[in-house]
Amino acid sequence: AQTVTQSQPEMSVQEAETVTLSCTYDTSESDYYLFWYKQPPSRQMILVIRQEAYKQQNATENRFSVNFQKAAKSFSLKISDSQLGDAAMYFCAYRSANQGAQKLVFGQGTRLTINP
């Protein structure tokens, strides 16, 4: 079974600074997808960024980028120019690329605080 581990329960950063959230995962599969989701106090899970395992190039979405290290099974999220609206719980998630397997396996989450 696949597992996802986020070893940082809480992180804080000064506004406009850069912060990196860590995520490691365990799987025996070679083809899969990785995601970072943001869950603000409103509770609605919002997709931040996604990475296909077969792509070597790291995904980037505006201020958000990932460092995907497939051999090390590591998938960290870098947030540049942090903004107050980035404050939320962040979850790393894994999904198999198998046709029928659409479930997401989530980590425990990292609470990110932005200090003004």
Residue with Cβ nearer another protein (62 or 116): 62
d(CA 97, CA 43) in angstroms, rounded, equals 27
- Shortest spacing between CB 116 and another protein, in angstroms: 25
Amino acid (one-letter) located at 45: M
What's the half-sphere exposure (Cβ side, CA atoms, 13 Å) at 41?
3
**CB of 37: closest distance to another protein in angstroms?**
8
Q: Which residues of 6-15 are buried (b: 16+ CB within 10 A; e: fewer)?
A: bebeebebee
- Minimum distance of another protein from residue 38's CB (angstroms): 11
Rounded-to-integer distance, Cα 95 and Cα 102, Å: 7
Looking at beta carbons only, is 19 or 53 nearer to another protein?
Answer: 53
Q: Which is nearer to another protein, 42 or 62 (CB)?
A: 42
Q: Of the two residues 28 and 42, which places its CB atom closer to another protein in the complex?
A: 42
Distance of alpha carbon 78 from alpha carbon 23, whole angstroms: 11
Residue ranges that bind another protein, judged by CB under 8 A: 4, 6, 33, 37, 42-47, 50, 52, 91, 93, 97-109
Q: How far is the CB of 90 from another protein (least distance, A)?
A: 10
Q: Which two tokens stand for residue 104?
A: 């997401």
